[in-house]
Structure 1
Amino acid sequence: MSFSNDIKMIRHKCLMSQTEFAEALGVSFATVNRWESGRSKPNFKTMKLINSFCEAQGIDFDVSKQLMEEEQA
C-alpha cells in the first residue's frame, strides 16, 4: 500500500475530513491533500506525529516501514 493510501485509510478510520486530520496533526489542509494525492510526503518529525496520532487512535501505522519504502523508491 502506498503512503498516500495509508494516510487516506488512517483518516477514514478516524472518520475525519482532511481539514480535521490536518488540525489534529498541526499541518495545513493543503499538506494533507498533497500527501493523499501523492505529490509530497511528510518529513521525519511529522511522520513521528502521525505515528503518535495512530497509536492514540489504536491504528497500526509502521513508520519504519514507510521510511524503508521511501528509501527504496
Structure 2
Amino acid sequence: MSLHDAVGRIDDAHVVRLLTLWFAVATFLRVASDGGSTAEAVVGFVALLLFWGIPIHLLVTLLLAVDVAIGGSATE
C-alpha cells in the first residue's frame, strides 16, 4: 500500500470534526475567566485535556497510517 493510499484512508470528516472542536476549545481557553466556580474549573480542566489530547490523537492516527503504508504490522 502506498503512503498516499494509507493517509487517504483517514476519515476526513472525523479530522474536520476534531479540528473544529480543537479550535473551539482553544477559543474557550483564550477567553475563559481566571476565577470562578468549581464547575468552571472542571470545564477548564476538560478543555485542557482536549487541547492536548486532540493533536496527540491525530498525530498517532497519522503515524499508524504511515506505519501501515511502509509495511509495518499495525492492525486496524
Query: Normalising by structure 2, what TM-score?
Result: 0.28
Higher radius of gyration, 1 or 2: 2
Structure with more contact order per residue of length (Cα contacts < 8 Å, sep ≥ 6): 2
Normalising by structure 1, we get a TM-score of 0.28
Q: Which has a greater percent of helix? A: 2
